[in-house]
């Protein structure tokens, strides 16, 4: 997960370097690409007025800044709250904050290095490759459940349950727990919206508290009876004589469960929408393993699942002629970078056969998504099975995007195939 960091506005920004777009405007979060095109045509490094910080939309800049050690996801290892004006934690979201405290996405070395090393083994390509048969089996089983219907909301019926079940099984939780895990996750994700209300915070905190309580009970059972699963591995793994604390295991398990399905759900929905709207023959897009891989990569580029990732400046520095102070926040616009005309020919065209394919949808550097190999395999297998089984798939009504701008995904994708 990648929480948006909001800070007090910076004054004195030249008008030509600033831009305005409301993240809560349905016209914007439903289609942010015209705004991105304007930034690319003018200043791809700009001050976003609503967020109150500088943002970078160019592929070159975003790719470089994701790897730049002058910036990090955490700031409190090099500065105090008072020094940079960071507000104190809110007591009513203490349970939610606990799930974030030891999140891989919010840690910097050496803590990040130690924690990632202990869990990375389960997500390397050669390990997750073994899951292909299970993913195909599950995709077919899910389609069996709705194929007899005339139409279905593909997000709810297919895109969401499949990756939730896979990551739950990897961690060591029962597949039948997936609906409850999805509910907790979806409620927690609302904390990453722009302009979160007090009521939203309370509900997300309750979901986090229930999630933690459930996992603590499972951890207690695993300590008594270990299994061949990731949770047991995290409880027993050592590096340099050190083990993960229970809080680190909790944060990591919740991150893997939430992030382990979130991006895949969005990319599945966004990707199916892109394919159906393109007019291309789906059979040609999944005709071979290489073409299937290329199609998934284009889905990731064309309509990315994550659009904004924030970092702190860990020191006073300068980027693209912009002076930044220690503690300032910058926004890395992954969705915009993937549509940069300086990097991609005809960037607003969905083209799974392009020769300049690439994307920053999974990030880069030390925070490159640990679950990227798994997500790619899930997408390749699930989408190819979907179009094999339902070759006449088509949109039944206009797709609707979620009101969570930087987690760019569909709330609803109603399709039919008869």
We report the CATH number of the domain holding residue 59 as 1.10.630.10
Kindly provide the residue ranges of all beta strands, DSSP E only, lying in 121-260, ordered along the sequence: 151-153, 238-239, 242-243
CA 173/CA 259 separation, integer angstroms: 16
Sign of CA dihedral 151, 155, 159, 163: negative
What stretch of H or E contains 119? helix 111-120
1 in a structural domain: no
341 in a structural domain: yes
101 in a structural domain: yes
Q: Output the tens digit of pLDDT for each of the chain's 418 residues.
A: 444 444 444 556 878 899 999 999 999 999 999 999 999 999 999 999 999 999 999 999 999 999 999 999 999 989 999 998 888 989 999 999 989 888 888 888 888 888 888 888 777 777 789 999 999 999 999 999 999 999 999 999 999 999 999 999 988 999 899 899 989 988 998 888 788 899 999 999 999 999 999 999 999 999 999 998 889 988 888 777 778 888 988 988 888 888 778 889 999 999 999 999 999 999 999 999 999 999 999 999 999 999 999 999 999 999 999 999 999 999 999 999 999 999 999 999 999 999 998 999 999 999 998 889 999 999 999 999 999 999 999 999 999 999 989 899 999 999 999 8
Kindly report the pTM of this predicted structure: 0.92
8 in a structural domain: no
Kindly provide the residue ranges of all beta strands, DSSP E only, lying in 40-199, ordered along the sequence: 45-48, 53-56, 71-72, 151-153
Overall number of domains in the chain: 1
CA 17/CA 194 separation, integer angstroms: 22
Question: Beta strand 317-319 with 322-324: parallel, antiparallel or unpaired?
Answer: antiparallel
Of the chain, the end-to-end C-alpha distance in Å amounts to 37
209 in a structural domain: yes
9 in a structural domain: no
7 in a structural domain: no
Q: Could you list the residue range(s) of the whole structural domain that residue 404 is in?
A: 15-416
Name 162's Cβ contacts closer than 8 Å, sequence gap at least 6: 135, 138, 139, 142, 264, 268, 378, 382
Closest to 334 measured CA to CA, from 405, 410, 271, 278:
405
2 in a structural domain: no
DSSP annotation of 157 reads I
CA 406/CA 2 separation, integer angstroms: 9
Contact predicate 135/194, CB 8 Å? no
């Amino acid at each position: 997960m990648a929480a948006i960091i909001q800070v007090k506005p910076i004054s004195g920004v030249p008008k030509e370097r600033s831009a305005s777009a409301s993240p809560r405007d349905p016209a914007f979060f439903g289609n942010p690409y015209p705004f991105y095109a304007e930034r690319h045509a003018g200043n791809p490094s700009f001050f976003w007025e609503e967020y109150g910080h500088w943002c970078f939309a160019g592929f070159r800049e975003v790719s470089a800044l994701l790897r730049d050690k002058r910036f990090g996801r955490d700031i409190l290892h090099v500065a105090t709250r008072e020094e940079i004006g960071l507000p104190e934690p809110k007591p009513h979201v203490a349970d939610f904050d606990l799930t974030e405290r030891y999140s891989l996405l919010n840690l910097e070395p050496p803590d990040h290095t130690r924690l990632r090393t202990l869990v990375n083994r389960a997500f390397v390509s050669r390990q997750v490759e073994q899951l292909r048969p299970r993913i195909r089996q599950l995709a077919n089983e899910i389609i069996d459940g709705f194929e007899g219907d005339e139409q279905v909301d593909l997000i709810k019926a297919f895109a969401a349950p499949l990756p939730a079940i896979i990551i739950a099984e990897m961690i060591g939780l029962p597949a039948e727990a997936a609906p409850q895990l999805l509910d907790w996750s979806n409620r927690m994700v609302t904390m990453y919206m722009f302009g979160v209300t007090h009521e939203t915070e309370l509900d997300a905190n309750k979901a986090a508290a229930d999630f933690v309580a459930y996992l603590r009970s499972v951890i207690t059972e695993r300590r008594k009876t270990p299994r061949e699963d990731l949770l047991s591995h995290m409880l027993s793994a050592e590096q340099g004589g050190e083990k993960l604390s229970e809080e680190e295991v909790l944060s990591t398990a919740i991150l893997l469960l939430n992030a382990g399905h979130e991006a895949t759900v969005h990319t599945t929905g966004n990707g199916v929408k892109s394919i159906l709207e393109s007019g291309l023959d789906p059979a040609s897009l999944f005709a071979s393993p290489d073409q299937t891989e290329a199609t998934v990569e284009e889905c990731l580029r064309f309509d990315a699942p994550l659009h904004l990732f924030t970092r702190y400046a860990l020191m006073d520095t300068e980027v693209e002629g912009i002076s930044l102070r220690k503690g300032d926040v910058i926004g890395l616009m992954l969705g915009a970078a993937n549509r940069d005309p300086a990097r991609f020919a005809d960037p607003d065209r969905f083209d799974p056969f392009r020769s300049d394919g690439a994307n920053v949808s999974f990030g880069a550097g030390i925070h490159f998504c640990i679950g990227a190999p798994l997500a790619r395999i899930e997408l390749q297998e699930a989408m190819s099975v979907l179009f094999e089984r339902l070759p006449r798939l088509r949109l039944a009504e206009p797709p609707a995007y979620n009101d969570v701008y930087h987690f760019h995904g569909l709330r609803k994708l109603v399709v039919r195939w008869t």
